[in-house]
Amino acid sequence: MNCIKIKAPAKLNLSLDITGQREDGYHLLEMVMQTIHLYDQITLEKSNEISLECDCPDIPCNGKNLAVKAAKAFFHATHLDGGVKITLQKRIPHGAGMGGGSSDAAAVLKGLNRLYHTPLSTKQLDKIGLKLGADVPFCLHGGTMLVTGIGENLLELQDMFPCWFVVAKPEQGLSTAEVYQAYDALEEQQMIRPKTNGVIQAIYEKDLETLSRSMANVLEYAVPLQEIAEIRQTMHQHGAYIAQMTGSGSAVFGIFEQEEDAKECAVSLSQTYQQVYVCKPCKK
């Protein structure tokens, strides 16, 4: 086998809380994360060197790209004398807080492990992934999970119950590092923090109302984009149980019980925003 194709799904943060900060500056997180049916498509072909081609001109195709970093980390860990040509069809919005880069990196690690028939275990892949980014270990697993620490502690939860997500991204993307810096600079204020146990309980009980009362993302306080509030308002007007920013933004998602309501909301948002998606949750 000289070529393999693999899907890299986007993720949403059903909740995101910052519980502290380590001495090295890394934030301690508590998040319930969910993969959705919106994918980048990655093709991996054996080669003598590592290269990347992408159909999105905004994405760097050099060593700064997480997919390239993942390939380098894989070959370093396995001591293999080889390379890979990575072809990336980008569908997950860039700078959206949807884990596009992390999911691409995870897909490259999993794909190369299959392509080169190497025996790297899940724990080994997680360890490599964590060095690339906090979301990469989760993206290696997918589904519905509680993620804590700096992204290294993963607890598999029950699959998210059937529902519909509408995701809309403002034109302006955001830098994860800059959003966390802005959060650190915030003065002490009364924040609405997620009730993580409530989110988990609601998933197990398939209770949208409890879920909506328990969800929150503290990073929204560090992102003063007017479009986020406008998208949330539109989603609520069309029947969303909850609407909030995912990750470090700038994408916003709403949760709907009925497909018809979700699609009507997407049509309305599409009149203003170019990147609007209707998705279902992925199972592990």
11 is catalytic: yes
Using DSSP, state whether 201 is helix, strand or coil: helix
Using DSSP, state whether 24 is helix, strand or coil: coil
135 is catalytic: yes
Compute φ and ψ for 58, nearest 5 degrees.
-80, -10
The residue from 40, 104, 126, 135 that is catalytic is 135
Give every strand in the sheet of 275-279, ordered side by side.
242-245, 252-256, 164-169, 275-279
* b (16+ CB within 10 A) / e for 54-85: beeeebebeeebbbbbbbbbbbebbeeebbbb
Cα separation, 129 vs 55, in Å, equals: 24
Cα separation, 108 vs 66, in Å, equals: 9
The residue from 5, 11, 17, 123 that is catalytic is 11
Q: What angle do CA 89, 94, 99 make, to 5 degrees?
A: 90
Beta-bridge partners for 7: 41
Burial level of 53, CB count in 10 A (0-12/13-18/19+)?
A: exposed
Which residues are within 8 A (CB) of 64 and not within 5 positions of it... i.e. 6 or more apart? none
Active site residues: 11, 135
